[in-house]
A = this chain, B = another copy of it.
Amino acid sequence: MKSGLMSPRSINATTLARLLGGPPRSRPYYAAIAAGVRGLVLDGRLPLRTRLPAERDLAVILGVSRTTVTSAYDALREEGYVESRQGAGSWTALPSGAPSAARHGLAEDRTLIDLACVSPAVPSVFEECVAAAVAELPRHTSGPGYEPLGLAGLRAAVAARYTARGAPTVPEQVLVTTGAQNALCLVLQAFTRPGDAVLVESPTYPHALDGLRRAGARLVPAGVNAGWDPELLTGGLRQSAARLAYVIPEFQNPTGRLMDDTTRAALVATARDTGAYMVTDETFTELAVDDVTRPRPLAAHDTDGRVISIGSAAKVLWGGLRIGWIRAGQALVRRLAEERETVDLASPVLEQLIVTELLGRMEEITAERRSMLRERRTALVEALREDCPGWEFEIPPGGLSLWARLPGVSSTALAAAGARHGVHLVPGTAFGVDGVLDDHLRVPYVLPPDRLREATARLALAQRDADTAGLSRPAYV
**Cβ of A272 to closest chain B Cβ, rounded Å:** 9
> Across the interface, do A5 and B182 meet the contact criterion of CB distance under 8 Å?
no
Q: Hey, which chain B residues are within 8 Å of A172, CB to CB? A: 96
Determine if A255 is an interface residue (Cβ-Cβ < 8 Å). Answer: no
In the docked arrangement, what's the CA distance between A468 and B211, Å?
A: 52
Q: Tell me whether A4 and B306 are in contact (CB under 8 A).
A: yes
A48 at the A/B interface (Cβ < 8 Å)?
yes
Complex contact B146–A319 (CB within 8 A): yes
- Tell me the bound Cα distance from A341 to B94 in angstroms: 14
Q: How many copies does the complex hold?
A: 2
Residues 448-477 (chain A) with a chain B CB within 8 angstroms: none
Contact A83 B331 (CB under 8 A): yes
Q: Which residues of B contact A330 (CB under 8 A)?
A: 96
Stretch at the interface among A155-163, A259-267, A291-299, A349-357: A349-357
Q: Which residues of A298-315 have CB atoms within 8 Å of chain B's CB atoms? A: 304-306
Q: Are A318 and B4 in contact (CB under 8 A)?
A: no
A207 interface residue (CB < 8 Å to B): yes
Give the number of residues in A that approach B within 8 Å (Cβ atoms): 81
Interface centre among A138, A143, A179 (most CB of B within 10 A): A143
Known: A4-B191, A6-B193. A185 touches B141 (CB 8 A): no
Choose from B48, B214, B348 the contact partner of A348 (Cβ within 8 Å): B348
Q: Are B181 and A319 in contact (CB under 8 A)?
A: no
A60 within 8 A of B: no
Tell which of B6, B103, B341 touches A190, judged by Cβ atoms closer than 8 Å: B6
How far does the alpha carbon of A147 sit from the alpha carbon of B107 in the complex, in Å? Answer: 10
CA gap between A306 and B5 in the complex, in Å: 11
* A343 contacts the other chain (CB 8 A): yes
Is A10 in the interface zone, CB < 8 Å from B? no
- Bound-state CA distance A226–B48 (Å) is 45
Assess the B141–A342 pair: CB atoms within 8 A.
Answer: no
- Closest B-chain residue to A126, C-beta based? B141
> Provided the pairs A94-B338, A100-B338, A343-B182 are in contact, do residues A144 and B319 lie with their beta carbons within 8 angstroms?
yes
Q: Mark A103-117, 1 if CB is under 8 A from B, else 0.
A: 111100000000001
Whether A14 sits at the interface, judged by CB under 8 Å, is: no
Contact in complex: A320, B140 (CB < 8 Å): yes
Choose among B106, B342, B347 the residue that contacts A146 (Cβ–Cβ < 8 A). Answer: B106
A275 and B344: CB pair below 8 A? no
Which residue on chain B has the smallest CB distance to residue A137?
B130
Within 8 A of B (CB), among A113-168: 117, 119-122, 126-127, 130-131, 134, 137-138, 140-148
Contacts of A211 in B (CB 8 A): 342-343
A322 partner residues in chain B, CB cutoff 8 A: 178, 344-348
- Least CB distance from A314 to B in Å reads 8
A273 → chain B closest CB, angstroms: 12
Is A335 among interface residues, defined by CB-CB distance under 8 A?
yes
A218 CA / B7 CA spacing, docked (Å) = 21
Since A4-B191, A103-B338, A145-B321 are in contact, a sample of 18 more A-B pairs with Cβ atoms closer than 8 Å, ordered by chain A residue number, is A1-B304, A4-B306, A4-B332, A6-B190, A104-B148, A105-B146, A119-B144, A119-B146, A126-B141, A141-B320, A146-B319, A181-B342, A182-B344, A185-B343, A207-B345, A211-B342, A319-B346, A321-B350
Tell me if B338 and A190 are in contact (CB < 8 A): no
Any chain B CB within 8 A of the CB of A27? no
- Please indicate the chain B residues that have their CB under 8 angstroms from the CB of A238 in the complex: none
Interface flag for A257 (CB, 8 Å) = no
CA distance A83 to B335 in the complex (A): 12
B345 and A275 contact, CB distance less than 8 A: no
